Amino acid sequence: TVAGLVVALRTINTRNGRMAILTLDDRTARSDVVVYADLFRENREILARDRVLVIEGEAMADDYTRRGHKQRYWAQPDGPIG
């Protein structure tokens, strides 16, 4: 689980639909979050800059960024969505 402020949001059109890459800032580090097309469709109303999100899912690290496959999204102070 990771939480933070969305400081950047980029959407990409793919053959499976639109997907997004979010950058979250938790005041200690920044993490890139890939939101694939199916989850983007389900959660697009809460994916916005300057919004605090709590995201649960599988994280993967590489030498340049912290990216992961995410499964559940929350916008604070609401509960789980998706």
- Distance, CA of 12 to CA of 15 (rounded, Å): 10
CA 17 to chain centre: 16
pTM: 0.73
pLDDT greater than 90 at residue 9:
yes
What are 30-76's pLDDT values in tens digits?
888 888 899 899 888 999 999 999 888 777 666 555 555 555 565 55
